[in-house]
Structure 1
């Protein structure tokens, strides 16, 4: 009895431990992940011809599903489908044509002209052509069978043992370390961490599904757009790291997806992974402040320039990978705008409150926003205009007042710009003036404040905001993130404290020292006062026709009070746009390399849709251009 009991116990334990997490297969030297939740099942009892198509050392065979759009499917339609698949999808390849399944809409009868299809079938190495029972053929060689669920057309993998059909996920290397983890849909309104790695130097593998599965509709305007997500947003089924190993392992997989992310998913966007962030979305210098995780690499120039932060992974990733359509980060004090400028891509800080920040690791509730990166202004505008539902969509024209702020400080001051950068900015300004039908007006924000500020307030705006940002971010994050993490970590580690990277640790310590109602209240008051002033006496007044009187500034980093801070304090939207390149002599490559030149466009609070439309139309008119991945913006 004892031995039987022990045997039964071991058997039960072994059954629970053995879980199929999928597998990696190579098709024509391209790696794919096969696993996750089956999307349908093929009745394989009617034939064993598929055995010739099985991938060696596996029980998997590739399958192409084609939806018939005509009553007769002939060679012409077949070639058109294959050509469209090949040109529009990076997951599909001709090897998927080893087995083909033709299906049509329910209650529709179709036929296959096998004679006209035969040359292409032979050329593609097809072993088996299957059809739904409602599809007929006048020649033999076609097997009629069924699927349990009708599928979108495109490439799939099928288990030869069970007939289970899985989506085809192509595996890409994350050479620039932009991602923390890959993610795939778990079939239960959540995600699972990608359990697949292919050989590369410290790089992760990211799985992307076929673009052919998705069709843009009114309800799903972002259908098929692949995106990566800064790892401060919670996603059901995945852990969140916020750039911290301690945070990642202290808290388990999340039970809820952030509403902002769910909104993108509901509109058809496809999440492929979570991306690197400066720890807890603070500032950080590579690689001194990147201890728990390695800083992502900026692909521009020699590949070793600062990618900026804190939305470092999303910025580096969108500039690195053609297979990624957009990425999502956050901006509190420049965390979107810095990486957008450093990588030369489109990226924004939206108006405060444009989208929910619930279930996101906070830096400051008063300043946090969610932004998008893209290489193409069309995609950028498409995402923004469908994502931000809490902003003004009622504008009939673009602003006719163009206000230019050439002032800057330090590295980004006009005197420090190269001649190439100055020329690129000036060319863009001329193009913008022509597009808007207006001329720029040079403005001075600090002077305007001194002359029109509220009464009983200092004329020195630098004095007013000396510690405002620091107080809001350090006090908020210590109270909302740091203190709970220290308590939760200690509870499971015998009273120990978690490791925190140097920069956030110093900020949290400063926040604890200044954590008083009076200091925080004063900082919040200063921000609110500036926001009210900006919308009345400053340069952020709304307009009934154009949404905003226009404002523009050069891109600069969040160091002390400067023009980077205006958008946050004013709650206004700002977008970074790439306008050129500037050469430099790289001490790393020993060659002349090029870095991006960018400009910031800002409008009144709530005018994010107008800004996105303007950027899209500027690209359509040739004033702006979509950028490439890799070392150069355009090559």
Structure 2
């Protein structure tokens, strides 16, 4: 604690510390370290500190430690952390930096809080923040990214057993560390970032909970734990996830939080298991104005941020993506109307199928609909890569343990399907992806930065639903996520309101979140985020969401 001012300033400083930081507690005031050039203290200062419970005061003439709570022992001075119970079962493990000087290397924290029956996460004080851009920001990392010094499981016990702690961090995680962010833990993921949707699909690790509504709405996946943690805990600022077909965006919808998939060029993320994601890193954010904008403008790559300021000249709505719930569509329409008025631009509605029929390339058969032409592209490419990229894992596991590694039934189906895809089938699917990208960018978005696509979204499925076996499910088709997936476009999921439903769990009326997807042109990432933030601030709408049962204080 710095010294050199009166009692009123000391009271204000302590109050500010306790307000800004959830680790700082009154019990830390029993021993106070004052950094001062004075050799003595005024009696009124001593009496004030005594009244606050201080039993020992130490004076230092040199600032040996930064501000914040610390523990002292014969071994030295150590930073304090607060243990939070992971009540929603979002994390696989708790982590902390080995030391304040060795911020690049982490260790697993094995500790329990009194009365907790779940994993506990050690959260450091925000008062230790440095001058780095993301200093003090607490980040939960999906367990498909490597963290130096910590084991990666990819949601599969066999993978975690085969691979010990890693001596390198994935590029996306390393950038967080370099910018001053703090990784508080690894979060649960669908196995190998796959397609597990309900409790029955999860075999190796328990399915995380969604804190919204009655507590039993499904989390979806695959960035399951990251979404769960951001939704439930105010002590998590950002969740890092991965997204190929919707692994960040779908859970963002289900939890009523902001989720962002940046522009990408399809290149692999460095020092990340290729089996997890072929489309690069993507983010979760809880508090939009204080989280995603702050985080995004520093963390996103230069190739994602060429457009710093962005105002579209046209808002586009596709009729085929209209909601099947009137209340959701009403909230969406009202929000789009406000955005249109604020931007002073026109909203255009189109039929995707009609536009496809009138403008599709000559190479496409005349009778081929948009939905039919692109229905198998994503799964054929994804499953083929999923199978081939896990070959080394299967071989290494069998060589080391003399057995085939266990995977859940959904993963096994993806492997079986992927192994059946021929080279020609995969190439044809990739060719069709290219057809989509050229057509969508030119015909739908208009070939420039002047248009954004808006889509209503919600999810009211339950976590304990019984689904058919994977081989009987319908994995093929085309949904709104795939436009951005195929073309590498920035795609933001933002909560825009909430409505009510009659819960079969609580047998009362509950509130569920309503979201909107926004797809822009490649490279407009930061401009798009800033535009949304400017709109929310200018119109007096919430720039963030709440943790817990409801995303907002109000509902329609």
The separation in 1 between residues aligned to 2:162 and 2:193, in whole angstroms, is 18
Distance 1:579 1:242, change over 3 A: same
Shift of 1:598: 0.6
> What is the match of residue 75 of structure 1?
7
SS in 1 for 2:122: strand
Structure 2, unaligned stretches of length 5 or more?
Answer: 460-474
The separation in 2 between residues aligned to 1:380 and 1:540, in whole angstroms, is 28
Shift of 1:537: 2.7
Matched, 1:594 2:507: no
How is 1:98-497 mapped onto 2 (pairs within 5 angstroms)? 98-103=30-35, 109-110=37-38, 113-133=41-61, 150-159=64-73, 161-162=74-75, 164-187=76-99, 188=102, 189-198=104-113, 202-215=117-130, 217=131, 220-353=132-265, 357-363=269-275, 366-389=278-301, 390-408=303-321, 414=323, 416-419=324-327, 421-458=328-365, 459-481=368-390, 483-494=391-402, 496-497=403-404
Shift of 1:330: 1.0
2:451 to 549, 567, 580: 549
SS in 1 for 2:48: helix
The separation in 2 between residues aligned to 1:581 and 1:365, in whole angstroms, is 31
1:534 to 415, 418, 440: 440
Shift of 1:366: 5.0
Structure 1, unaligned stretches of length 5 or more?
Answer: 1-65, 135-148
**Are 1:431 and 1:623, in contact at CA under 8 Å, matched by a contact in 2?**
no
Cα deviation code 1:561-613 (max 9, x no counterpart): 12221110111011011111121111211211111111101100111111111
**Are 1:405 and 1:554, in contact at CA under 8 Å, matched by a contact in 2?**
no
2:522 to 583, 605, 611: 605
Cα deviation code 1:208-227 (max 9, x no counterpart): 10000104x4xx22111111
**Are 1:282 and 1:363, in contact at CA under 8 Å, matched by a contact in 2?**
no
**Count of aligned pairs:** 531
SS in 1 for 2:69: strand
The separation in 1 between residues aligned to 2:276 and 2:488, in whole angstroms, is 13
Cα deviation code 1:187-235 (max 9, x no counterpart): 34211011212355652100110000104x4xx2211111101110011
**Are 1:181 and 1:204, in contact at CA under 8 Å, matched by a contact in 2?**
yes
Distance 1:577 1:317, change over 3 A: same
Q: Normalising by structure 2, what TM-score?
A: 0.91
The separation in 2 between residues aligned to 1:356 and 1:614, in whole angstroms, is 29
Shift of 1:554: 2.0
Matched, 1:569 2:492: no
**Are 2:243 and 2:277, in contact at CA under 8 Å, matched by a contact in 1?**
no
Shift of 1:556: 6.8
**Are 1:381 and 1:615, in contact at CA under 8 Å, matched by a contact in 2?**
no
Distance 1:81 1:395, change over 3 A: closer
Matched, 1:522 2:428: yes
The separation in 2 between residues aligned to 1:428 and 1:624, in whole angstroms, is 13
Cα deviation code 1:76-101 (max 9, x no counterpart): 33212211111100000111011111
Which structure carries more relative contact order (alpha carbon 8 Å, separation 6+)? Answer: 2
Cα deviation code 1:424-453 (max 9, x no counterpart): 212211211122112310022332233222
The separation in 2 between residues aligned to 1:112 and 1:359, in whole angstroms, is 55
The separation in 1 between residues aligned to 2:306 and 2:332, in whole angstroms, is 29
The separation in 2 between residues aligned to 1:480 and 1:78, in whole angstroms, is 59
Distance 1:133 1:381, change over 3 A: closer
Shift of 1:304: 0.7
The separation in 1 between residues aligned to 2:207 and 2:160, in whole angstroms, is 17
The separation in 1 between residues aligned to 2:176 and 2:278, in whole angstroms, is 23
Shift of 1:387: 1.2
Q: Normalising by structure 1, what TM-score?
A: 0.80
The separation in 1 between residues aligned to 2:228 and 2:307, in whole angstroms, is 34
The separation in 2 between residues aligned to 1:372 and 1:313, in whole angstroms, is 11
**Are 2:266 and 2:488, in contact at CA under 8 Å, matched by a contact in 1?**
no
SS in 2 for 1:599: strand
Which shows bigger deviation, 230-239 or 372-381?
372-381
The separation in 2 between residues aligned to 1:172 and 1:469, in whole angstroms, is 40
**Are 2:172 and 2:281, in contact at CA under 8 Å, matched by a contact in 1?**
no
**Are 1:173 and 1:200, in contact at CA under 8 Å, matched by a contact in 2?**
no
SS in 2 for 1:342: helix
The structure having more radius of gyration, on CA atoms, is 1
Distance 1:294 1:201, change over 3 A: farther
The separation in 2 between residues aligned to 1:366 and 1:94, in whole angstroms, is 48
**Are 1:540 and 1:551, in contact at CA under 8 Å, matched by a contact in 2?**
no
The separation in 1 between residues aligned to 2:48 and 2:251, in whole angstroms, is 47
Distance 1:312 1:122, change over 3 A: same
**Are 2:533 and 2:543, in contact at CA under 8 Å, matched by a contact in 1?**
no
Shift of 1:509: 0.8
The separation in 1 between residues aligned to 2:267 and 2:40, in whole angstroms, is 50
**Are 2:310 and 2:524, in contact at CA under 8 Å, matched by a contact in 1?**
no
